[in-house]
Amino acid sequence: MIETPNTYGWDRRLFTGGAWGGYYFPRHLNLYSFERLAELLHRLGLAVESQRNLPAPLIWIYSLQGAVQARFGWKSPLTKIFGVKNIPLIAAFAFLDIAAIAMRFKTSNQQAISRKV
């Protein structure tokens, strides 16, 4: 099982210029779409049993932090509002992504389950 950011998540288009939270360096050195991840797993001799979108509330948080920092600077008080300790905001973004998944949108987090061939 692999969980990784999805470069085709609908919210990625909202955060241009490097603010998208899925770029979270150094954790994510390689980024994949559903198709690219499936292709990689096949090249490694694995059969993909399933792929699905997952809620990505922390990617939303990191995206907003990056956008605020780019616009207002690193020390802006707004940066704290969009922090990982803001539980109500995290819950709101989780709900947003759950609704997006129900409407068949691709989110910025994906899961692939594979097995050895």
Query: Which amino acid is residue 34, in one-letter code?
Result: F
Is residue 79 predicted with pLDDT exceeding 90? Answer: no
Task: Please list the alpha-helical segments (H only) found in the chain.
Answer: 34-43, 57-72, 78-81, 87-102
Is residue 17 predicted with pLDDT exceeding 90? Answer: no
Using alpha carbons, list the distances in angstroms from residue 97 to 38, 47, 101, 112: 22, 27, 6, 18
Q: What is the pLDDT of residue 75?
A: 87
On average, the pLDDT of the chain sits at: 92
Q: How many C-beta atoms surround the C-beta of residue 62 within 10 A?
A: 22
Using alpha carbons, list the distances in angstroms from residue 12 to 19, 41, 56: 9, 23, 11
pLDDT in tens, 80-100: 888 899 999 999 999 999 999
Q: What is the pLDDT of residue 97?
A: 97
